[in-house]
Amino acid sequence: MITGYHNLPIGKYQKTINAMMQHEDDMDAHVAMIATLQELSPEDVYNMPLMEYHEISARYAFMMQELPPAENIKEVYDLGNFHLVPTKDVKKFTTAQYIDYQHMVKEDNKIVELLSCLLVPKGSTYAVGYDLAEVQKAISENLSVQDANNLSAFFLRKLKHSILPTLTYLGLQIMTEFPRKERKEMMNLLWRLRSIFRSGDGLNMSNQ
């Protein structure tokens, strides 16, 4: 039974958020949330006795709250048939691993694919000798939202030391080489990026 972010699989979380975003009305979005988490149809939820609906809603009240602060990451993540080890030192990335990571970090809704760049089967080299799609499936179905946030926060802290100087350089480039009317929007985006990497708080995966 799902009782919090600590045992809600990241794939089901994404599916739930996507279902909720299809509705402008808050009540309809809440029904979509219940339906997805309970693996029911929206019609099943609408036809549910009101007391049962309230009881289930209380169980999933955590979905309306922010994620708890990031914690230390694990040495190994046992997900499905895989024992996945985080590549803690970004200097040990393979070229393919770094390129895939750079592609995924630019995409929306690609947290599972992003994490599959960071979690490698024990004893393996990234994307060599195993099916990357199977690893992504194991992450989607078994890695909790809390663990996903812990991993994202860890790697943001690792990367910020090399990225912050780059962002500072980009700021200088924007101020000297871009037309005045474009500077404000680009600098706002740059400051948001700097804020993310300075905080090292992990991904904002709440629905607030």
DSSP 25: S
pLDDT of residue 101: 86
18-72 tens-digit pLDDT: 999 999 999 999 999 999 999 999 999 999 999 999 999 999 999 988 888 889 9
Percentage, residues of the chain above pLDDT 90 = 61
pLDDT of residue 59: 96
How confident is residue 102, by pLDDT bands cut at 50, 70 and 90? confident
pLDDT of residue 50: 97
Half-sphere exposure of 29 (CA within 13 A, CB side): 13
Of 149, 147, 141, nearest in space to 80 by CA: 141
Percentage, residues of the chain above pLDDT 70 = 76
123-140 tens-digit pLDDT: 999 999 999 999 999 999
Of 73, 64, 122, 117, nearest in space to 94 by CA: 117
Could you give the CA distance from residue 100 to residue 139 in angstroms, rounded to a whole number? 16
Position with higher pLDDT, 145 vs 161: 145
pLDDT of residue 157: 73
Could you give the CA distance from residue 112 to residue 90 in angstroms, rounded to a whole number? 18
How confident is residue 208, by pLDDT bands cut at 50, 70 and 90? very low
Q: What angle do CA 131, 102, 128 make, to 5 degrees?
A: 25
DSSP 121: E
155-197 tens-digit pLDDT: 877 766 555 445 555 566 556 666 666 666 666 665 665 555 5
Q: To the nearest 10°, report the CA torsion of 59, 63, 68, 71.
A: 90
